[in-house]
Structures are given as C-alpha cells and as structure tokens.
Structure 1
C-alpha cells in the first residue's frame, strides 16, 4: 500500500492505515480524490464506517496531528501511571516507553542518565533518591503540553546543540520571519564513559556532529543556522576561521564533516540557549469549523 500511494501528495500510509492531509479544504479534497482514484484503479475499497473525513486533528501512531503541529497521544497516560520499577526489567520497560516520546523531551538522555546507568550489567540494583528524582523528572517532562511544529522546507531551518558532563542534545527548529522559533524535533544521547573524558570543547563539537547525523535528511543540501552556547566552536567551525593546526585530531575530522554542509554559526548565551518554552505550547483552541488555511486530515 505504501508503494501504491508513494507518489500521492499529502498521503501517508502505515500498514492498512491511510492518512490524508491538506493545507486547506480545497487541497484536502483534491488529495482525497487522487487517493480514491488510485484505489479504484487497483480494485481496492475503503469501508465508510472506518473512515473519518475533514478532521481538525487525529491520533495516529501514538501522536496527535493537527494544524498546530505534532503532540503526544493519549497512550502517554499509561506511562504516567507506571509505578517506580522494582527491577531492571521493569525499568527497561519504562525507559522504552519514555523513549517513544523522545522527540518531545529536550535532553532526555541527561534526565534519564541515573536510570540508564542502573540498567548496566556491572551496576547493582539500588533505587535511591537520585533514581526516584530522575524517574519523576521524566514523568514531569511527559506532562508538558509541548507541540512540535510540522517541518516546512520553505521556512528557515536551524539546529541548536549543547553538551553536559553526561550527555549531548540537539533541537531542530524553524525560525520564522518575525524572529520566533519553534522546535520540530529533539534528540539526545548519553555519553559513554570514554566520551565523558573528552574536554568540554570536544563534547560540544561532538554534540554538533550528533545533530548533523540525527537530522541529516533535513539539513543536507539546505542552508541552516547552527546555534551553540560554546564560543570556541564559533572559531573552530566558523566560515572565516580554519581549525587550528594544534587542535585534536578528532576536532579536525569533525571540521571536515561540517564542510559538507551549508550553514552559518551563531553563538547564544547559555541562559538564552533554548527554544522558548511558550513557543512549544499548544495554542488556544480554535473554532472547530472547517476553516480555510488550516491543515485538514482524514
């Protein structure tokens, strides 16, 4: 089914579930007609009682999709009701459930580090106040009404990166003409014991490389803004300065990786180095009528 509809605009397929979207009512109807024509040509039918049309939002694969963006679905409630785990198996189950919503949680790896460490074979089970605090912090992060913007290649793209002692993180975002920013995805990773021994500049540079690999399909071939709160990176990775000859070999290698991308680098103070929380909040509910200019879903 996915191959059958791969060339149709605004059509997404997962197994036998078909989602049709449109930027406005007219486009939505056109996309529906194109889908129905394709299904008819192949002798396929849809059961009317299983179809919903012109929906302002739908829950799809555990996420709520609307013209506002992408938010967490109702299944997150099951994660919120999980009690503190009593063994490694239940802890892994909890972490796996949280990981499903990782795109909504900035610096997930840092928040989860005490719990992730507890899943190692060489670490004895001990649920202390530190693990409980991490467990609660992850639940609190799932309680937020964060909404990710739909990725729009016509908008300015940016990626911000940061590193801590235990993890690295990145945010893919859009910067709009009014200067406001909205995240489209978050990603993070816990550092291995070896990488935790890196210097701070190496950790910050590693965060950049991680972001480029994670969001490669959105960044490669497009100009984007690279935002960092580590000023030395502006010198190392900036367009007017080359990597110093005495820089560590890995920094030189990473600088070569960045040469493949078209970007401008910006320094942002740590206190300002995050997409404003208000920008990732769900806007007030609008009139549920089929308004023009709003993305519609089947």
Structure 2
C-alpha cells in the first residue's frame, strides 16, 4: 500500500489569518481501526499465554500509519463513503455496537458454564469478539469496505477543513472565537459519523497559543517548543561521531529557525571517528557546536507566510555552504519567515560566487514550493553559462 504522508513544513503554513487555534489529538490512535478476519490471521502471534490475534490495528505493521492517515483524510475531506452511504453505515454500526454491548453484559465469571473449567472470562470475551460480534461482521462486510473496488465512490460529504492532519494530530484555527467554535462543531460531527474519537485530555479548544508538532503557534508566528529547545542547548559537547550525529539530527527538525545552520554545521558534518581519538583536532567542531547552541537559544519567532505581501530574500554563499533568508514586512519592518541552507557538494564548491547565489535562490524556492507557485526554472540556465568569464 502506498499513500502520501503529509510533510510537517506543509502543515505549519496557511495560518497567517488565524487568531484562535484548536489542536486535537485523536483518541486510541491506530486502535480505532477494526481488523478484518484476514488481517487478524496475518498479524497473529504466539506467546507463553497462547495464540492471540489483533482485533484492532496495532502499531507494528509498516502500513499502519498510511491506513490511519487515509482514514483521517477521508473524514476531513470526504473523498469516499461506504457502500450505501454514511447514514446507512452509521446507523448499522450503532445497532451493531448496541448488540455487542448487550452480549458482553451477560458474560461474567458466574455466567461461564461450570463444566468448562478451562474457559476463562477472557476466553469467553474473545469468543464473542471473533464469532458473534456484530461489529466485526459489519466491518468484514462489503458495506464497510469503502476502498475494496479501488475507485472512490461519489461522496455526499464536503470538506470540513482545508488542512490535513499529521496522523492523529490535527490543528486548525479561525479569525474569530465564534468561527473557530463553528469549525470545531462541524469537525466533531464528522468524526462522529466516521467513528473517530477525540482525546479530551490531549486536546486544546480555542486558544490563543498552542503546541502543535513540537512548535509553539500563535498569531504572532511560529517558534520552537521551549522545553525541547532547552534540552538541545544544555547538551554537553559530544565525545563521539555518533553523539555528533544525534545532535545534528535533533537540530534538523528546527533548522528553519536557525540562521546559517549549514554554515556552522559543516565542521560537524565533516567529522570522522579518527578525529575523536587522542591527538585529534576538535577546536573548530567545538566552536561550531557552541555557536549552534547559541543560535537555538536565540531562535526568533518566525512570522506566518502571507501570500498577499511582497517577499524579500537575502542570499549568502561561502566556500562550503549556502544560506537563504525569506522575509516579509510586518509593522513597517522586515521579519524572518524561514531560514534555508545546505552544505555545498564537492563539484559545487568550484562554482563562481554568483552561481552559488543562484543555488541559494533555487534552494529557498524549492523549500517553499507550497507557499508560492512560481516558474523559477529560468534560473537553471544561469548555472550552465560561463559566469566566471562574464563577471
């Protein structure tokens, strides 16, 4: 199974008009997805207690995130519907759940036959789930399989949000408190139709500032999560190449907030195991490490990208790295929207400075593909000309 998963950067855009935010966390995660009989047999396992089969989707299967993401996307956008329509499916699922609840209410330790000394309450519950469960029967029927034909059915549903979720994490907002409540009401009604629950304890409802995917989001802009950023700034200097890689991996998630990340990080990327042996020179690496920690500590609040405003880009290129800063004017001043940078490849290090600046411009255009739709392919021929001979 292949299903495109969302990118974190794309989910942090299109929030420039929001004043109120509402992050939701779906309850139970993958367990909200019922397993078909075939899937139960495939995912079965044996342990010291016996043979077990998953009744709901576990965390282990590699396609579990894609299946769950597809289910949430279908609820948000209304792509397809079960055979017979959502109203029919919802009513039949309600009846099936009531039937199962009534059956389970009669299964107690006392109700188990005394002749079946080896049968426990757990085994009795399992028997009801696998043989008599009305919900399992409905899930395995063609009525519930909305993807069996491989073609989407015409759905009566309309999108309730113009945004995607990141698996079970959803964030949306509105300009006014009342509009945010109205969107929340539509979303919860849709989730009720699609049999999706929301965790009350993990969700926030109509707030000025929220945490979403380890980012602090407000009307003022986006900032890294203060607690997670503090952990990075308190790390001691790594004593091995693996420690350096872990440090750089932690910074990569917040690289959009770190100006000249690749410029200072290049010295760390070039480290080898031999550099950490006695006699190795780590002075440049320690300086880069300290500078990157300082940049994380001083990370600014990045403004939301506004499609209606002009874009200003500053470019920087040296012998080993590129750096670009996207800015827009707010309150009469230019504010940073995104920092983009990368280390140059071996062949690119021989480029003319003007060619490197073109690469820096292409870098920011490529990273912001979801923010602006521009034809920047005309910049590529510049790299094929003899810039050095013309300048």
TM-score, normalising length from structure 2?
0.53
Pairwise CA distance, 1:181: 1.8
Q: Does 1:147 align with 2:301?
A: yes
Partner of 1:249: 384
User: Distance between the aligned counterparts of 1:248 and 1:172, measured in 2?
Assistant: 22
Alignment counterpart, residue 93 of structure 1, candidates 211, 228, 246: 246
Count of aligned pairs: 229
User: Distance between the aligned counterparts of 2:231 and 2:190, measured in 1?
Assistant: 38
Greater strand fraction, Structure 1 or Structure 2: 1
Pairwise CA distance, 1:250: 4.6
TM-score, normalising length from structure 1?
0.69
Q: Does 1:20 align with 2:172?
A: yes
Q: Does 1:160 align with 2:314?
A: yes
Pairwise CA distance, 1:251: 6.7
Q: Does 1:58 align with 2:210?
A: yes
SS for the counterpart of 1:13 is coil
Rg (Cα) greater in structure: 2
Pairwise CA distance, 1:140: 0.1
Pairwise CA distance, 1:100: 1.2
User: Distance between the aligned counterparts of 1:15 and 1:46, measured in 2?
Assistant: 13
SS for the counterpart of 2:246 is helix
CA displacement 1:53-98 (0-9 Å, x = unmatched): 1222112211111111110102112211221111111110011111
Distance change (3 Å), C-alpha of 1:30 and 1:152: farther
CA displacement 1:135-185 (0-9 Å, x = unmatched): 000000000141011122222233332211221111222234x54222221
Alignment counterpart, residue 182 of structure 2, candidates 30, 44, 54: 30
CA displacement 1:189-246 (0-9 Å, x = unmatched): 1112321121211212221222222223323249x9xxxxxxxxxxx97xxxxx9xxx
CA contact (8 A) 1:161 1:211 kept: no
SS for the counterpart of 2:270 is helix
User: Distance between the aligned counterparts of 2:238 and 2:281, measured in 1?
Assistant: 9
CA displacement 1:105-150 (0-9 Å, x = unmatched): 111100111111115x8x7443522111100000000001410111
User: Distance between the aligned counterparts of 2:374 and 2:284, measured in 1?
Assistant: 43
